Amino acid sequence: MSYPEIPFADVEDLIRETAELDILPHFRNLSESQVQEKSPGDVVTVADMAAEFRLSKGLSKMLPGSNIVGEEMTYKDEDVLKRFEGDAPVWVIDPLDGTGNFANGNPAFAVMVSLIVRGRTCAGWIFDPLGERMAVGEIGGGSQLNGERLDIAKAPAPEKMHGGILTKFLPDDLRDTAESSKALFSEISATMCAGHEYLSMLNGDKHFVLYYRTLPWDHAAGSLLYQEAGGYAVRLDGSVFQPTDGRFGLLEATDPDTWRIVHDLVVPSVSLIEMA
């Protein structure tokens, strides 16, 4: 499969500009009217909307003929997801990942962008505005964090592993086992920001993460970056993860052996298909 020429430096500049102009001025500076509840426990702010607008406009110009799928525009109109069905490249935008944290003054938030071509992620960016961390990756080209190439090291034994197990959306038949498994690891934590979780995985602070919901703006960029750095990311049954297929469940770990160990401890009831 061929991919379009990607203006990596221009995308990075746009993401940084968006954070500087549309996000950081609102951090710990939001009025009540600038925060709205989309659904119970899920909020959107003026920063989300402004950032998505700037990113959408800028990315469209960089790659003529491309489409945009943003988290906030999709919430308003689910038909936006149909843009994945064509042959045109699709920019996927999470303008402010960790909005709940942002709205509460918690510094765990990020900007995520990816480029998907015919269902496959070919490039990804994650930016931590406060920490000035920019992770970038391209399919077949590896991943970098602030210009340094990444290489994921194999995890230690479970009792020394640090991971993330997000049980909020797990079905009842999986949740109890997953919850009880937390005691088998050294540390389990969650920032409620996928971008920060991926950055923790990329720099080796976390050895695995389990998700059930796998919305493309939350996982297209991060899963590509992690795999290009040598990590292993597949569905709970061991099948290939495609961010646009609408399926549930994603387990990511430092390598296939660690993945299998974590799987058998956390979600042993999920049958495995033949793994590549």
pLDDT tens sequence across 86-139: 999 999 999 999 999 999 999 999 999 999 999 999 999 999 999 999 999 999
| Domain spans of the chain, in order of start | 8-149, 158-266
Burial class (CB in 10 A: 0-12, 13-18, 19+), 204: middle
CA distance 99 to 265: 31
Q: What dihedral do alpha carbons 126, 128, 133, 134 form, nearest 10°?
A: 30
Helix, strand, coil percentages, rounded to 5, for the chain: 40, 25, 35
DSSP 3-state assignment of 228?
helix
Is there a common fold for 8-149 and 158-266?
Answer: no
Q: Residue 21 has what pLDDT?
A: 98
33-48 pLDDT tens trace: 999 999 888 999 999 9
Q: Residue 274 has what pLDDT?
A: 55
Q: Residue 2 has what pLDDT?
A: 75
E-state strands within 192-262: 208-211, 232-234, 250-253
- The least confident of 42-46, 82-86, 169-173, 258-262 is 169-173
- Choose between 173 and 162: higher pLDDT: 162
Task: Give residue 108's Cα distance to chain centre.
Answer: 13
The CATH code belonging to domain 158-266 is 3.40.190.80
| pTM score over 0.85 | yes
One-letter amino acid at 90 equals V
CA distance 31 to 34: 5
Tell me the mean pLDDT in the region 213-219: 97
Q: Residue 40 has what pLDDT?
A: 87
CA distance 65 to 10: 17
Q: Residue 272 has what pLDDT?
A: 94
- Given a contact cutoff of 8 angstroms between Cβ atoms, the answer to whether 188 and 180 are in contact is no
The CATH code belonging to domain 8-149 is 3.30.540.10
